[in-house]
Structure 1
Amino acid sequence: MNVPMASPGTIRAISDGADCLVSADKAIAALQLRCGGELPGTIAVPALLEVVRKARRYGLKLARTIQAQDGSSAITAWVEVEPIAGEDAGCEILLRNWQSAPLAAEDAAEAEERRGEIDRHFAELTARLDAGQRVLTVEAEGPDLAALAAAMEAGFGRPWTDFVAIPGNHQQPMHWRLLDGGEVAVPGSTRSWRASLFPQQGLGEEPAGFELCLVSRDLPTSVLEVPRSKPVPARDRLVGREIAPVLRQPLARIIANAETIRSRLAGPLAEDYANYAADIAAAGQHLLALVEDLSDMEVVEADDFSTAPDRIDLADVARQAAGILGVRAREKGITLDPPRAGESLPAIAEFRRVLQVLINLVTNAIRYSPEDSQVWIRLEAGDGEESGRARVIVADQGPGLSEADQARVFEKFERLGRSGDGGSGLGLYISRRLARAMGGDLTVEAAPGQGARFILEVPADFGSAETDEGALPPPAEPDQH
């Protein structure tokens, strides 16, 4: 390989025909590792990877200024990339005028937030954890994660680290900051995995819980292989249980790449193009949400669909739903008022399905409520003929619903004439099907201009400690417009 030597003060690296760094001077090697890459490994600096790809693809020498962030520093350099002669050869990379400056506090926070958004889109397994990192719920995609998801579902209440292998000899339990961003090995999977932990805000300094994401740099080998071992029923043909994961993978990557471009993490970009990227990301998110809703719809409409009832505390589930959506509410200036600490309402229902319904109800309340308003989540124990029921009420200060709209709002694909709000018209339909599958119901009380109260009702749990109805505050009424 005949490659000219780098001049003094120049940082030099070599990539191969697959855009992997195979050798690099100390500065670029360190940046590669800080950005989550490996050496040798695919170039992990987005701006540099883009220049290398173009130079190799077109067989031209390219030069430009690039910008990069490694979480703590903002780096600027002049890069020259020249393809190396030969079939499937890589490129010589020279970086000059390397400058590094600490990120401002707000820039670091924004970079961390963006990392979280990208990891959530790439994640193939997500789980909700309590403050002790014990598993509460889990959802997974990909055939090589099925065994892990099943083990975690069977082991609700155990630390998530019990189900994966962490390289090295570590004394458990480990602090979440030591686990965040670390490599984990998944039994039954040959792919490499990275764990991302997102703390949920608590009353004190310590997190009240976590969102766990497992992210792999490798696509599953079977992502485009749809099993054909048995005929696909007619009800599955719209999206299908096998087709949905195939759609999620490319959509998630489109969204993540668009977000990377929009936030200028890959380098400087004109405002118009950043706006285009934002439109692409928003459209991708809408389409991904539609795929998820269609997949859920087909699950709840299946003849063999059933839930797994257990003893749960509706107050605890409601508080978790509020914690999950707290950031979204604050972005719109909306105050969430969940059940107070110490409130309890035992019920018989499937934890993750109740959480799914409440997240949908609170999301809708946030979406359709005005800024600087309030959303209440209240508990109510049945009495008289309804003494066998336990209820969670989500009340908002939105535009409310007419009597005719109240009858239509739970219908499939019904959006009441709204458009451009990101909804699919399936959320409430799915939520009611879930509620009824658990032996309960989902209803609404509303009036135009007076907000809405969505009431989730499930069987009460008389086997737990007796509930004191007097200890439960009455459902809060939204202020009338």
Structure 2
Amino acid sequence: MSEGKLITARARTDAQDRLIEAEEPLAAFHQRAGGEIPGPIVTPALLDLVRRARASGKRMSRAIRAQDTLEQISAWAEVVPGKVGTVINISAWDALDNSDVADAGRDGRVALVRHLAGLTARLDNDQSLITVDWVAPDLDALGEAMMAGAGKPWTDFARPEGDAQRQPLHWRLLDGAKIQVEGSDRDWVAQLLPLPAGRTGFELYLVPDRPLAHQRNEPGMRRERLAGIGREIAPVLRKPVSRIIANAETIRTQLAGPLADEYSNYAADIASAGEHLLALIDDLTTLEVVDDQDFAPAPDQIDLADVARRAAGILGVRAKERRITLVSPADGASAPAIGEFRRTLQVLLNLVGNAVRYSPEGATVTIAARTVDGKARITVADEGEGLSEEEQKRAFAKFERLGRQGDGGSGLGLYISRRLAEAMDGSLTVESAKGQGARFTLELPSDPSA
């Protein structure tokens, strides 16, 4: 870890905002991050400052932060526009080894963008598509095209605005880029997150500039409620709560400067409370949907074993943090079913998430898939304290938390999960006994055509 020593470096850019000359340590950082000299600036904050200064013709300065494979750096950058390009003056350079940086900062950003994203995709190391999921209806065409184009670069389908360069660009240049989406009147921004250490590839999130407007009382459309947490209040609450989380994470990780431990811990409490509030908002939004008598999930052809593997992959980091082993269905296992993919994944994320949360450290959570008597089944078995017969009867009740306090839960997860299962002509049941863990089973109609 550095001692916070003041370091000054100078650099120059041309009219295309390419770095054509740079002194150390900026030059080494730029090249480790995948850049070349001469070549495009690969640090988004610095590139944005250079573009603003050149466009305005005025001297501009601000703090910048970035990281490469070795270090996370913070510095003060001053950009002076010239006749053609700009001159960059760097001071107060401070570098922190990535080995000393907690994963919580990344987790905070992931939590934030996941709440806001309309589309999520898993990419390989070359930014080619592996899996795609989306919740925004104005991204239906894009999502379908991406699913059909697995193995191709994601930029073949969602092109960055005003960028005619050969795709895909270095991921740092695409992180934060505005994306053109045909058929959507909203503006979208791409958020690219490298997978944690030990895994290769990226997570891609497309985040909208605003919630999707809802039409009401038009011929041929289902009547929308005029009031309710999901349609009216949730979009208003999400933005300020997300801002609170982001600011608290900045304070907690001390990116804005050194801070006493008690204040850093206080900021962590604020961020945690904000994340719980966002989770509650999401639960209440879904609750309004599933309690609507007209709610009808789409009857997709899905594979329960595949959905289970995806759920285990998403929650793998959380399980690892608690030293819990997740055993998911083998790659060759299959349980074809009829049900909406997104809603089925939502149910399994809840079941597996609960199993990870309430199992003791070092335990094993087993997810098994099978087809029995024309039904596809997934069972999530944990090694927690188990449920008594009375607790099993209450487990699926609305706002029921079985006496647990301080775990951040809303008491809605299992209620919503059972409602979703029943809406897909299936069921969600539990078998348990005190001291013997719990086994939750999701059952859906099997797919006879598979």
**TM value normalised by structure 2:** 0.74
* Aligned amino acid, residue 204 of structure 2: L
Residue aligned with 1:344, SS = coil
Say which of 48, 59, 70 aligns to 2:66: 70
Aligned twin of 1:255: 245
Matched, 1:279 2:269: yes
Cα RMSD (Å) of the superposition? 4.0
Aligned twin of 2:396: 410
TM-superposed CA distance for 1:341, in Å, is 1.5
Aligned twin of 1:107: 100
299-308 vs 359-368, which moves further: 299-308
* Aligned amino acid, residue 367 of structure 1: R
Matched, 1:265 2:255: yes
TM-superposed CA distance for 1:192, in Å, is 6.5
Residue aligned with 1:240, SS = helix
Aligned residues of 1:236 and 1:298 also touching (Cα < 8 A): no
TM-superposed CA distance for 1:170, in Å, is 2.4
Aligned residues of 2:108 and 2:246 also touching (Cα < 8 A): no
The 5 Å alignment of 1:129-144 reads: 129=122, 132-140=128-136
Change (3 A) 1:162 1:437: farther
CA distance in 2, matches of 1:312, 1:79: 51
Say which of 226, 229, 234 aligns to 1:239: 229
TM-superposed CA distance for 1:128, in Å, is 3.7
Aligned twin of 1:468: none
* Aligned amino acid, residue 159 of structure 2: A
CA distance in 1, matches of 2:90, 2:193: 36
Change (3 A) 1:213 1:234: closer
118-127 vs 417-426, which moves further: 118-127
Aligned residues of 1:314 and 1:345 also touching (Cα < 8 A): yes
Deviation >6 Å, runs of 4+: 26-33, 76-80, 225-228, 231-236
Aligned residues: 389
Query: What fraction of aligned residue pairs are identical, expressed as a percent?
Result: 48
Aligned residues of 2:123 and 2:129 also touching (Cα < 8 A): yes
Aligned twin of 1:447: 433
Aligned twin of 1:90: none
Larger radius of gyration: 1
Residue aligned with 1:39, SS = helix
Aligned twin of 1:164: 158
TM-superposed CA distance for 1:228, in Å, is 8.6
Aligned residues of 1:445 and 1:453 also touching (Cα < 8 A): yes
Change (3 A) 1:442 1:162: farther
**TM value normalised by structure 1:** 0.69
The 5 Å alignment of 1:28-427 reads: 34=43, 36=45, 38-39=48-49, 69-72=65-68, 73=71, 98-101=92-95, 103-107=96-100, 110=103, 113=106, 116-117=109-110, 120=113, 123-129=116-122, 132-140=128-136, 147-149=138-140, 151-152=142-143, 156-159=147-150, 160-166=154-160, 167-171=163-167, 174=168, 177=171, 181=175, 183-187=177-181, 188=184, 191=187, 193-199=189-195, 211-215=203-207, 220=210, 237-382=227-372, 387-427=373-413
Aligned residues of 2:132 and 2:146 also touching (Cα < 8 A): no
Say which of 393, 397, 418 aligns to 1:432: 418
Gaps of 5+ in 2: 1-7, 11-21, 31-40, 54-60, 79-88
TM-superposed CA distance for 1:182, in Å, is 5.9
TM-superposed CA distance for 1:251, in Å, is 1.0
Residue aligned with 2:444, SS = strand
TM-superposed CA distance for 1:116, in Å, is 4.3
CA distance in 1, matches of 2:379, 2:52: 50
